[in-house]
Homo-oligomer: A and B are copies of this chain.
Amino acid sequence: MPYKDEQLHEEKVFKDPVHRYVHVNDRVIWDLIATPEFQRLRRIKQLGTTYLTFHGAEHSRFNHSLGVYEIVRRIITNFEDSPRWDASERLLCLCAALLHDLGHGPFSHSFEKVFKLDHEHFTQQIILGDTQVHRILERVEPGFSQKVADVIDKTYEDQLVVSLISSQIDADRMDYLQRDAYFTGVSYGHFDMERILRVMRPLEDQVVIKSSGMHAVEDYIMSRYQMYWQVYFHPVTRSAEVILSKILHRAKYLYEQDYVFKLKPIHFISFFNESVGLRDYLKLDEAVVTYYFQLWQEEDDPILCDLCERFVNRRLFKYIEFNPNQQMNEWMELHRLFQEVGIDPDYYLEVDSSSDLPYDFYRPGEEEERLPIHLLMPNGSLMELSRNSDIVESISGKKRTDHKLYYPADMLQKLPAEQPAKKRIAELLHLDLRR
């Protein structure tokens, strides 16, 4: 039997707290899961620093990747009877689902920003480069790895396949909303996925939703909205991210200044040089990063040392609402005052802005073109979701942004009382100095 058709002697299952069981029958999938590149995802948290806000959110991207695979598996099992569905793309869909996040690194958000990386780029490299994953995919058939990469990259010819894992209602989102809700323990993030799967229909170049299932989709969109604002953009999580970015900035800066680290940060060198190869990238997981942060608590540089100690021991920055566009003067004054009292504002004063666009219809030519969700009406026509749903319409295309200013309250409180700038800083930051 050709490798691509090989079935496991007996179905294997993973016990999954979200989907109950993840079922694997294909030898190819089983082999992909066993690769070092896929196992590495166990060492990268799904939600980065969120565990410092919601202590249950310690789950890894390995978890999520299995979940996305399982959802796609269920969707295409339902599609089997549809004339539109091309059964020969089954394995391609499963592989793309399983591997879609393969390039994520530790605390992706901060690392990507500071070191100008792109995890999607590394997903492509892992699939196409010199890796076990690549070799398994090529065993399926020559060129198969490129197909998988294309699906993940959204450039694959059959856009129906792409839409399974990259659309406004794809397996990726359906898994992470439920999974992140489960592990954080919040009551948002629930929607009737079983019903959504039952009303999904493959149609030309997209998956559409039978209109009778519209309310389940509304519920999903609302879940997404709540999860973004209640979990993903939680200001405490962002405080930890700010500190994390500052650590990376400081370490890079010190490296560039020829600072001598007590232990040479070999894992970071190529990051500092912005010349990260695949091999270096794969070596840097969250265990390694955490190891360094712990080491750096004992470095001589007081800023690096302090920031690492903050991150490791969760001594985070406080925050206030702060709109940098409207409060430029305060910003400049604070910057100046921080310098005056000897607290480097480049590392200890930061505005973080988080934005979300919960759902959008198609706006050609805009920054982020999003494919809308289409309802399949009883008469066979398609109708864009927000035209049929009041609730979705109300949030459709409306970007919401939240600005916070982060600062180290403890440092400020320890300033000597006679320090003239102290009172003014406290005033600007609404900081109660008596506590």
A residues near B (Cβ < 8 Å) are 13-18, 20-21, 34-36, 39, 42-43, 51, 54-56, 58-60, 62-63, 66, 182-188, 190-192, 194-195, 198, 215-216, 218-219, 222, 225-226, 229-230, 283, 285-288, 290-291, 294, 312-315, 390-391, 393-395, 398, 400
Expressed in whole angstroms, the Cα–Cα distance for A35 and B194 within the complex equals 29
Nearest chain B CB to A410's CB is how many angstroms away? 11
Assess whether B390 is in contact with A400, with CB atoms less than 8 Å apart.
Answer: yes
Expressed in whole angstroms, the Cα–Cα distance for A139 and B289 within the complex equals 35
Assess whether B66 is in contact with A15, with CB atoms less than 8 Å apart.
Answer: no
Looking across the interface, which residue of chain B has its beta carbon closest to that of A66? B55
Which of A15, A20, A34, A312 neighbours the largest number of chain B CB atoms within 10 Å of its CB?
Answer: A15
Assess whether A190 is in contact with B190, with CB atoms less than 8 Å apart.
Answer: yes
- Given A312-B39, A395-B394, also A59-B60 (CB < 8 A): no
Assess whether A283 is in contact with B287, with CB atoms less than 8 Å apart.
Answer: no
- Given A15-B185, A194-B20, A400-B390, also A63-B55 (CB < 8 A): yes
Looking across the interface, which residue of chain B has its beta carbon closest to that of A132? B313
Contact residues of A: prevailing secondary structure: helix
Assess whether B288 is in contact with A294, with CB atoms less than 8 Å apart.
Answer: yes
- Given A56-B17, A219-B187, also A36-B390 (CB < 8 A): no
Assess whether B62 is in contact with A59, with CB atoms less than 8 Å apart.
Answer: no
Q: What are 20 sample pairs from A and B whose C-beta atoms fall under 8 A apart?
A: A15-B184, A34-B314, A35-B313, A36-B312, A36-B313, A39-B312, A42-B314, A43-B290, A55-B60, A58-B58, A58-B63, A186-B192, A187-B216, A188-B215, A188-B219, A287-B291, A288-B291, A390-B400, A391-B391, A391-B394
Assess whether A62 is in contact with B66, with CB atoms less than 8 Å apart.
Answer: no
Contact among B39, B60, B222 for A314, CB-based, below 8 A: B39
Nearest chain B CB to A35's CB is how many angstroms away? 8
5 new A-B contacts at CB < 8 Å, known A16-B185, A18-B185, A394-B394: A39-B312, A42-B55, A58-B60, A288-B294, A390-B395
- Given A187-B191, A222-B222, A288-B294, also A55-B16 (CB < 8 A): yes
Expressed in whole angstroms, the Cα–Cα distance for A70 and B219 within the complex equals 27
Contact among B14, B36, B229 for A55, CB-based, below 8 A: B14
- Given A16-B55, A219-B226, also A315-B185 (CB < 8 A): no
Which B residues are CB-close (under 8 A) to A315? 34
Expressed in whole angstroms, the Cα–Cα distance for A143 and B220 within the complex equals 49
Which B residues are CB-close (under 8 A) to A15? 54, 56, 184-186
Nearest chain B CB to A50's CB is how many angstroms away? 11
Assess whether A55 is in contact with B51, with CB atoms less than 8 Å apart.
Answer: no
Q: Which 6 A-B pairs have the closest CB atoms?
A: A394-B394, A17-B185, A287-B290, A187-B192, A291-B291, A36-B313
Which B residues are CB-close (under 8 A) to A313? 34-36, 39
Which B residues are CB-close (under 8 A) to A51? 42
Expressed in whole angstroms, the Cα–Cα distance for A162 and B63 within the complex equals 38
Nearest chain B CB to A173's CB is how many angstroms away? 17
Assess whether B17 is in contact with A182, with CB atoms less than 8 Å apart.
Answer: yes
Nearest chain B CB to A195's CB is how many angstroms away? 8
Expressed in whole angstroms, the Cα–Cα distance for A192 and B21 within the complex equals 11
Assess whether B187 is in contact with A190, with CB atoms less than 8 Å apart.
Answer: yes
Nearest chain B CB to A208's CB is how many angstroms away? 16
Looking across the interface, which residue of chain B has its beta carbon closest to that of A286? B287
Nearest chain B CB to A77's CB is how many angstroms away? 12
Looking across the interface, which residue of chain B has its beta carbon closest to that of A394? B394
Which B residues are CB-close (under 8 A) to A58? 42, 58-60, 63
Which B residues are CB-close (under 8 A) to A290? 43, 285, 287-288, 291
Nearest chain B CB to A186's CB is how many angstroms away? 6
Expressed in whole angstroms, the Cα–Cα distance for A184 and B63 within the complex equals 11
Expressed in whole angstroms, the Cα–Cα distance for A314 and B391 within the complex equals 34
